[in-house]
Structures are given as C-alpha cells and as structure tokens.
C-alpha cells in the first residue's frame, strides 16, 4: 500500500482509530482493576441475590441508602450466573460500559455542535480521568459507570428529538443510579426553560416526583452520620475539591490540606508535590483558556451549572465527598473547556497534544499514588487473602458452623499486600460481617466472629468451630 493510499485509509477511519487509541490509553491506566476482588458491599449484594427472589431486586429498602436494581442486584446476579465468584468477568462488563461512555461523550458533544477534534479530545479527557478509579475498581460502585451510560443516552436522545426513546432510557437510568434526577435540570440548561421543553420533560418529571416521594417518605433512608447534611463553608470546600479532582488532583489531598490551617497544610502538601504540579498546570490552563476566550457569559454559566448539578446530590454531604461522583458533573467542565477552545479557534494539533500529554501523565501519576494508598485496594486484598486461606483450610463446613477470624500475622499480610489497622475492623468490613462466608459456601446458617489474638472466647461444644488465624507456614 502506497503512502497516499495509507493516508487516505487513515483519514477515512480516523474516528474509529482515535477511539481505539482512547480505549487503549484508558485500559492501560486502569487494567489493574480487573484483578480486584469482591469486598464490603459486594458480599452483601452477592448474598442478597443468592437468597432472595428476582422481584426483591426492585423493592425499596429502608436498611440501605440506595435503590439501584439495575446496577446492584441485577448486575451481580448476571455476573453470578455467567462468572460465578470470579470478579474478572464482572469487571469486564464495567469496562465495556466505561468505553461506551467515552463514545457517548463524543456523540453528546457533537450533538451540541462541538467540532470532531475537540469532541474527541473531550472523550479522551473523560476516559482517562483519575476520578474513575473507584467505579472501575469496586464493583459495588458500578452505578457510577453504568448510570452515566443511560444518563448520557437520555440527554443525547432528548436533544435529537427522540423523546419516547429518551424517556425509556431515563427509566433505565433511574433504575441504575439516583443521579439520574440531575438529567432533567441539565436538559433545561441546554434547551432552556420553556413550555415545549417542559412539556416533553413532563413524563420524566412525574416519574421523578413519585420516586422522591417513595424514597424519602414511604421508604425513608436509613439515618447515618456519613450522610449528614452540612451547610455554609463546607459546601464551598466540597465544591473546591470536586473541581480540582476533575483535573486529577489525588483524592488523598482532601485529608491533608485544610483551609482552616493553610500554613501547616501547605507544608504537609509539599511532600506530594510531584502529584500536584501537573494537575495545577491543567487547572491554570483551563482557567486561562476560559478567561481568554471571552466566551458568552451564558455559555460559561451553562458549563458551571452542569458541573454543580452533576454533583448536587452529594454536594451537601461534607463527610461523603469522593471523586467517583464526578462521572456526570465533570462533563460540564469538559464542555466549558471545549467551548472555550472552539471560541479561541485552538485547533493546533501540537497544542492539543501537549495538553492531552500533560493530562494523561498527571492521571497516571495520581492513579499510581492512589493504588498505593487507597483503602479500597487494601480491603479487596484482605478479602481475597482471607477467603483464599479459608477455602484452602475448610472444604465443607457443617450447617451452623462458626468461623472465628483473627488478625493475620505480619508475614501473611505483607505477602498478600494488605495492612490491618489495630483500631479498625478491617477484616470484618472487608468480608461484610457474615456475608462473605455465607456466599462462598452457599450456606446462610454459617456464622462469623471477628476477634483478636488476645481475646479468649468460649463456645458451645455442640457446634463446629473453625479458627481462622492466617499465617504463611500453615
């Protein structure tokens, strides 16, 4: 094939080839997540789908904070049927939806009249952003991957006047994530608050009202300190962290830098400067681009409102702020950036390549840091190591057997890459109390007790007891 013909072929398939490149970059950043094991809520849902009937998946519950039939019980049931207790297959499904979201961001931006080049760049930024770490690593947070798939589809279909299909996808989205409710105000921002738009959104509004009544009044949410609402400066603090997390600032920095103690916070932050320099450059570039573009103020407001609405369900929860909640809101900032680039007519490949290069390097560094420090990595390692040890030691426990789990020794924990903190119930949390043991042996009569080496317990002689004390030479 000659050079001219090769160029013509590449030009013809440049969009599919670009997506393959974005998929490859995203996969390179996140492929370690494919090996992460079940832990915490994963075991709760696996036990739920093991013991309850299909219709229970759709019931509102007052013992859990969420109603996500599509992305919790149904997702895990499908995984259980096809992959049993092998998390790799579950993760593959999540990665498929993540790649689909990359394409949907491109389609959405093209629908909003953004050029092909800038739309592709926006998809790249979205697909390789560090805020996807938890949704792509912890299976119980798949709602922040699959939910955006249906939310983005809802937006695209509505903007292209496919109202019935848009409403259908809205229903799927609502069954996937409570964040779906933000789709309505986002559409009002994009289309304007007018009678025709409100009329088309009426079915979604009615369903949303019924949903809110059911969730907050008929089946009220459980009370918990973690979901305590906060006002005043806390909101601005939350808003700040969600903004900088969009540009790959490590999540950990929110536990290191405090506005109430700026001097000591800056000193403490300096040891992490290698993870902060590039995100700060990205933030400055973003702000300068928006400022220099002299973009219409209404368009700036659209992007900012989209961002704030995207995180609005959690913005008032100061004790429950995490980057994973950015999977819809961050698109508002990417949209604002795209509009600014278009206004400045910055389509120079070298400039866009430089920004994209800084972006992916910053994401890589942040993710490398996160994989070493994030609690989810530790918890899944505990779960995997303990259950591997238990299954190897206990083949078929009798009904009503009791498992007494003790802390692993230092050699065992180092070999399996986890840390047990003396003041925290890491093992109990990782295995979600009784759930993990009951799931792996498919027996709801089994019980688990979590104790320490120093604590001596006595048990009835009538039950079979398995003492689990993980160590290397055992």
Q: Note whether 408 and 333 are same-domain residues.
A: no
Q: Note whether 417 and 363 are same-domain residues.
A: no
Measured CA to CA in angstroms, residue 151 lies from 77, 336, 368, 386 at distances of 22, 19, 30, 38
pLDDT at residue 350, as a whole number: 82
Q: 429: domain range?
A: 377-468
Among residues 330, 350, 373, the one where a domain terminates is: 373
User: Is 266 among the domain residues?
Assistant: yes
Among residues 357, 373, 389, the one where a domain terminates is: 373
Measured CA to CA in angstroms, residue 51 lies from 47, 343, 398, 438, 444 at distances of 6, 57, 19, 10, 8
Q: Note whether 227 and 332 are same-domain residues.
A: yes
Domains identified in the chain, total number: 2
Residue by residue, DSSP assigns 194-226 as -HHHHHHHHHHHHHHHHHHHIIIIISPPPP-GG
> Which residue shows structure tokens 């760049």?
121
Q: Note whether 356 and 410 are same-domain residues.
A: no
Q: Note whether 334 and 309 are same-domain residues.
A: yes
Among residues 323, 350, 373, the one where a domain terminates is: 373
Q: Note whether 184 and 280 are same-domain residues.
A: yes
CA atoms of 387 and 390, how far apart (whole Å): 5
pLDDT tens over the chain, length 474 residues = 556 665 565 666 789 999 999 999 999 999 999 999 999 999 999 999 999 889 999 998 888 888 899 999 999 999 999 999 999 999 999 999 999 999 999 999 999 999 999 999 999 999 999 999 999 999 999 999 999 999 999 999 999 999 999 999 999 999 999 999 999 999 999 999 899 999 999 999 999 999 999 888 887 776 666 656 656 678 889 999 999 999 999 999 998 988 888 888 888 888 999 999 999 999 999 999 999 988 888 999 999 999 999 999 888 877 778 999 999 999 999 999 999 999 888 666 788 899 999 999 999 999 999 999 999 999 999 999 999 999 999 999 999 999 999 999 999 999 999 999 877 789 999 999 999 999 999 999 999 999 875 556 666 667 889 998 999 876
User: Is 1 among the domain residues?
Assistant: no
Q: Note whether 393 and 353 are same-domain residues.
A: no
Written as six digits, the tokens of 253 are 């920095």
Q: Note whether 162 and 202 are same-domain residues.
A: yes
User: Is 2 among the domain residues?
Assistant: no
Q: Note whether 312 and 386 are same-domain residues.
A: no
**Cβ pair 447, 54 in contact under 8 A:** no
Q: Note whether 337 and 383 are same-domain residues.
A: no
Q: Note whether 356 and 462 are same-domain residues.
A: no
**Cβ pair 288, 340 in contact under 8 A:** no
Q: Note whether 421 and 369 are same-domain residues.
A: no
């Amino acid at each position: 094939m000659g050079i001219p013909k090769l160029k013509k072929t590449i030009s013809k398939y440049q969009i599919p080839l670009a997506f393959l490149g974005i998929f490859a970059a995203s996969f390179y950043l996140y492929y370690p997540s494919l090996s992460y094991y079940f832990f915490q809520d994963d075991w709760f849902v696996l036990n739920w789908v093991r013991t309850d009937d299909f219709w229970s998946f759709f019931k509102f519950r007052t013992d859990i904070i969420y109603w996500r039939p599509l992305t919790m019980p149904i997702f895990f049931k499908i995984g259980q049927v096809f992959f049993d207790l092998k998390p790799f297959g579950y993760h593959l499904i999540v990665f498929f939806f993540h790649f689909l979201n990359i394409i949907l961001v491109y389609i959405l931006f093209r629908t909003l009249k953004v050029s092909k080049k800038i739309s592709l760049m926006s998809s790249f930024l979205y697909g390789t952003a560090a805020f996807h770490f938890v949704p792509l690593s912890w299976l119980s947070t798949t709602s922040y991957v699959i939910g955006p798939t249906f939310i983005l589809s809802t937006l695209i279909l509505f903007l292209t006047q496919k109202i019935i299909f848009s409403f259908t996808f809205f229903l799927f989205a609502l069954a996937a994530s409570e964040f779906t409710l933000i789709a309505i105000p986002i559409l009002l921002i994009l289309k304007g608050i007018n009678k025709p738009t409100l009329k088309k959104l009426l079915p979604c509004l009615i369903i949303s009202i019924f949903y809110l009544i059911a969730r907050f009044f008929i089946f009220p949410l459980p009370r918990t300190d973690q979901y305590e609402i906060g006002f005043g400066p806390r909101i601005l603090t939350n808003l700040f962290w969600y903004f900088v997390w969009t540009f790959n600032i490590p999540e950990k920095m929110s536990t290191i830098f405090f506005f109430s103690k700026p001097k000591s916070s800056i000193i403490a932050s300096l040891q992490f400067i290698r993870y902060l320099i590039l995100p700060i450059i990205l933030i400055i570039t973003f702000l300068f681009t928006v400022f220099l573009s002299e973009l219409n103020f209404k368009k700036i407001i659209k992007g900012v409102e989209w961002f704030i609405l995207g995180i609005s369900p959690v913005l008032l929860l100061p004790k429950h702020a995490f980057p994973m909640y950015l999977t819809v809101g961050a698109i508002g900032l990417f949209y604002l950036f795209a509009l600014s680039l278009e206004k400045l007519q910055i389509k120079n490949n070298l400039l866009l390549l430089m920004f994209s290069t800084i972006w992916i390097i910053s994401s890589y560094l942040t993710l490398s840091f996160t994989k070493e420090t994030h609690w989810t990595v530790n918890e899944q390692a505990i779960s995997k190591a303990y259950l591997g040890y238990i299954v190897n030691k206990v083949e078929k426990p009798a009904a009503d057997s009791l498992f007494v789990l003790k802390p692993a020794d230092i050699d065992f924990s180092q070999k399996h890459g986890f840390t047990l903190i003396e003041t925290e119930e890491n093992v109990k949390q990782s295995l979600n109390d009784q759930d993990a043991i009951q799931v792996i042996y498919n027996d709801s009569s089994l019980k688990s007790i979590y104790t320490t080496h120093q604590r001596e317990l006595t048990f009835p002689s009538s039950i079979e007891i398995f003492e689990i004390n993980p160590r290397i030479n055992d």
